[in-house]
Amino acid sequence: MTQTRGFSRRAIIMHWLITISIFFLFISSWWMLSLPFPSEDFKYRVLPFQVHKNIGITILFFLAILLYLRFKFPPGTVVISHAHPWMSRLVIFYHFLLYVIILSCCVSGYMSSSYSGWNTTLWWIIELPNWGYEDEELNIFYSEIHLWTCWALLVLVAIHVSGAIYHAFRNDGIVQRMLRL
Amino acid sequence: MSIAAPNKPRPTWAVWLGAIAVIFGVLQTAVYSNEWMTQKVISEDITAMQSTPDCPEDELLEEDISLAECELMAAKVNIMIVSRPSWFRDFQMCISLLGGIIAFASIFVGAALVEYRNWAPTGAVVTFTVLLVINTVEFAAATHAGPLLRATYLWNITLWFFIHLIMTSAALAGHHKKDK
């Protein structure tokens, strides 16, 4: 029924690190946007925003590594008896879209930050160049893209999770490919 | 290229419970990490409590909020500072750290269940039970934290409690099935 050749272990680690990071960014961003605007007396936003940017940029690196491993060590072709050929094509398109949306989310967030006038120091070590200057309109433009790509990402994540649960209940060997120790 | 064990029979209960444990493990790791950060960021801050928040018009426009909402953001932080008992911040940071570690471990336990490692059913019972105990301790703490924090914390602790209760019961049932 199903071949069980899975993803490489390093790809699995990258996948789950990206997953935890994405969920953390969603939850923390909903919370941190309810904190008072930064001022001399109110500095509550400083740490969460820095952490948010650091994790977002790190996701880009993880994604690059995951894609490299995905193509360098491709998992075996899965043959499921009940699947139609168009389903496989849909799954490929879905994954392509998922990678593009994650990339867009991270890049638009970084660009928005660049035009906000706030510097980004990656994990408080590496000072990243500011690609932009302080420009409120561009900041709002990129932050709108960031907002909508993130909502799109949440929808894609929900589809991803429901697909995983569907295959787990069918016990058809699909989830085992990404859930190996 | 790594290749999984060739079609080792894996009971369906273990695969779906494992997959669910991984998903909830990921979610709860994120939730606990955020709670830890919340308590870290909102320290005892008398200056902030006595100040009026800055609400510049461009920021209001950027975040699409009203002046009243902007002022309430400061009130929200003050609610936490004023209403939490003296022990609450340290307690929340410790329990979030512990809960985050166990939730992270539950991701591996879930993966082990999917692979149906020999130790996985026992590991699942132990891990989910520990998470259940943590939820119980959190629940007891939140009930003693006053009405404002109860309103914030109690409902989602209760939700997680029941999720872990269901997962522990399922792991126990699977464990007993394995013994037969």
At position A157, the amino acid (one-letter code) is V
B31 in any annotated domain = yes
Q: What is the pLDDT along chain B (180 residues), one digit of tens a residue?
A: 333 444 567 888 999 999 999 999 999 999 999 999 999 988 876 666 667 788 888 888 878 888 898 888 888 888 888 888 989 999 999 999 999 999 999 999 999 999 888 899 999 999 999 999 999 999 999 999 989 999 989 999 999 999 999 999 999 998 887 666
Q: Does a structural domain hold residue B64? A: no
User: Which chain A residue lies closest to B70 (C-alpha atoms)?
Assistant: A36
Q: Can you list the domains of chain A with their CATH numbers? A: 9-177 (1.20.950)
In angstroms, the separation between the Cα of residue B57 and the nearest Cα of chain A is 11
Distance from CA of B114 to the nearest CA of A (A): 6
In a domain, B141, yes or no: yes
Residue A46: what pLDDT?
85
Predicted pLDDT at B46:
67
Interface touch B2/A41, C-beta < 8 Å: no
Q: B19 vs A175: CB contact, 8 Å cut-off? A: yes
If you measure CA to CA, which chain A residue comes closest to B109? A181
User: What CA–CA distance (Å, rounded) separates A3 from A39?
Assistant: 58
**Does B69 reside within a domain?**
no
Report if residue B147 sits inside a domain.
Answer: yes
Picking from B2, B62, B114, the nearest residue to A179 by CB comes out as B114
By residue range, what is the domain housing residue B116? Answer: 17-42+83-179
Q: Taking Cα atoms as reference points, which of A114, A115, A136 lies closest to residue A127?
A: A114
Shortest alpha-carbon distance between residue B8 and chain A (Å): 10
User: Per the domain annotation, does B118 fall within a domain?
Assistant: yes
State how far residue A30 is from chain B, nearest Cα, in angstroms.
10
In angstroms, the CA A21 to CA A99 distance is 15
Backbone angles phi, psi at A127, to 5 degrees: -75, 115
| DSSP percent split of chain A into helix, strand, coil, nearest 5 | 65, 0, 30
Q: Which A residues in the span 46-105 are in contact with B, Cβ-Cβ below 8 Å?
A: 47-48, 51, 73, 76
Residue A122 pairs with which residues in a beta bridge? A126
Q: How many CB pairs under 8 A join A and B?
A: 141
List chain A residues with pLDDT less than 50: 1-4
Chain B residue with the nearest C-alpha to that of A73:
B1
Residue A113: is it exposed, middle or buried by C-beta count within 10 angstroms (0-12/13-18/19+)? buried
- Look at residue B30 and tell me if it is in a domain: yes
ipTM: 0.81
Distance from CA of B140 to the nearest CA of A (A): 24
Residues B70, A36: C-beta atoms closer than 8 Å = yes
The confidence score (pLDDT) of residue B24 equals 96
What pLDDT, on the 0 to 100 scale, is given for residue B53? Answer: 80
Q: Do B48 and A42 touch (CB under 8 A)?
A: yes
**DSSP assignment letter at B50:** H
The pair phi, psi for residue B21, each rounded to 5°, is -60, -40
**Model pLDDT, residue B3:** 39
Distance CA A31, CA A49 (A): 11
Our count of domains for chain B comes to 1
- Whether residues B115 and A176 touch (CB distance < 8 A) is answered with yes
Q: Residue A136: what pLDDT?
A: 79
Residue B72 inside a domain? The answer is no
pLDDT tens, A133-172?
777 788 889 999 999 999 999 999 999 999 999 888 888 8
Structure tokens at B68: 């009243």
Q: Which residue of B has its CA nearest to A177?
A: B4
Q: Which residue has the tokens 């120790």?
A: A181
